[in-house]
């Protein structure tokens, strides 16, 4: 149990550090845009690493690969951890550090969110939908397919993502409304919140002796937060100047 407690504390620390970087983002961006974006990106990646550490020590309690939210976080972490590809660069990095605003001037983007229905504000951190599909969907013939997963594992993970996160609906909307696939971005934060809620609700039923301030705060917060409906999607269209 002590190892599990330490992993929860590590994850809670990472979530606090990300929240602090997110809060500080707009102020720092006025001074040093590159530092602000890189700080937030590294803080988000640290949350994925900490989530994976918790997975390592709690998988006998939680069936991580049976749920779309927890499954996707592990897919993202593994892809970013090995980083033998150019996938999963955040919206901020793509648009503001890699010349995307200039290259894509006038382009119309589709930004996808899973919302909490009582309008609690959720922060935004976007990855390109194509990047997720390029890791899991063999039919795309991507050179970046997740090679450490078996074909059956990739198919199961893809189906969970398409059905459990409403991505089939996103793809249908993209096709019917004519959005290029490279211009569809998914906010990962609601999916992350849903995954943490799921895991913390299960682990909170164990005989944990939580001592750290961060873990006490975050465990309570996520077990009391209203659930995110992963089939409840909202869309925002954004045209670059």
pLDDT (tens digit per residue) in 177-235:
999 999 999 999 999 999 999 999 999 999 887 888 999 999 999 999 888 889 889 99
Pairing verdict, β 184-187 and 108-114: parallel
pLDDT at 239 over 80: yes
Q: Which helix (H) or strand (E) holds 33?
A: helix 33-58
Strand order of the β-sheet with 184-187 is: 126-128, 184-187, 108-114, 233-239
**Which pLDDT does position 208 carry in this prediction?**
83
Secondary structure (3-state) at 165: coil
pLDDT average, residue stretch 98-122: 87
Contacts of 39 (CB under 8 A, 6+ apart): 21, 24, 25, 28
* Confidence at residue 121, expressed as pLDDT on a 0 to 100 scale: 74
Mean pLDDT over all residues of the chain?
94
What pTM value is reported for the model?
0.95
Asked whether the predicted pLDDT for residue 119 surpasses 70, the reply is no
| The pLDDT of residue 118 | 63
- Quote the number of domains for the chain: 1
d(CA 114, CA 165): 8
* Full residue range of the structural domain in which residue 200 is found: 2-239
With a pLDDT cut of 90, the percent of the chain lying above it is 86
The per-residue pLDDT for 140 is: 95
Q: Give the confidence band of 175 by pLDDT, cuts at 50, 70, 90.
A: very high
Q: Is the pLDDT of residue 164 over 90?
A: yes
Predicted confidence (pLDDT) per residue in 12-67, tens digit: 999 999 999 999 999 999 999 999 999 999 999 999 999 999 999 999 999 999 99
Q: pLDDT category, 120, cuts 50, 70, 90?
A: low
Q: Are 192 and 73 in contact (CB under 8 A)?
A: yes
């Amino acid at each position: 149990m002590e190892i599990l407690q330490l992993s929860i504390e590590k994850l809670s620390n990472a979530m606090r550090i990300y929240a602090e970087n997110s809060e500080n983002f707009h102020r720092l961006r006025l001074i040093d845009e590159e530092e602000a974006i890189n700080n937030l990106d590294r803080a988000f990646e640290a949350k994925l690493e900490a989530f994976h550490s918790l997975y390592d020590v709690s998988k006998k309690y939680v069936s991580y690969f049976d749920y779309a939210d927890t499954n996707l976080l592990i897919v993202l972490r593994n892809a970013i951890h090995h980083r033998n590809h150019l996938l999963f660069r955040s919206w901020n990095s793509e648009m503001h550090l890699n010349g995307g605003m200039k290259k894509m001037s006038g382009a119309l983007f589709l930004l996808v969110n899973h919302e909490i229905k009582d309008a609690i504000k959720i922060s935004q951190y976007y990855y390109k939908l194509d990047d997720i599909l390029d890791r899991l969907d063999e039919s795309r013939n991507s050179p970046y397919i997740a090679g450490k997963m078996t074909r059956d594992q990739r198919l199961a993970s893809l189906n969970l993502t398409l059905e459990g996160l409403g991505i089939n609906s996103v793809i249908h909307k993209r096709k019917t409304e004519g959005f290029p696939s490279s211009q569809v971005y998914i906010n990962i934060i609601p999916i992350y919140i849903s995954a943490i809620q799921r895991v913390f609700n299960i682990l909170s039923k164990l005989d944990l002796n939580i001592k750290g301030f961060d873990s006490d705060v975050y465990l309570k917060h996520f077990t009391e937060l209203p659930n995110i409906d992963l089939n409840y999607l909202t869309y925002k269209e954004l045209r670059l100047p």
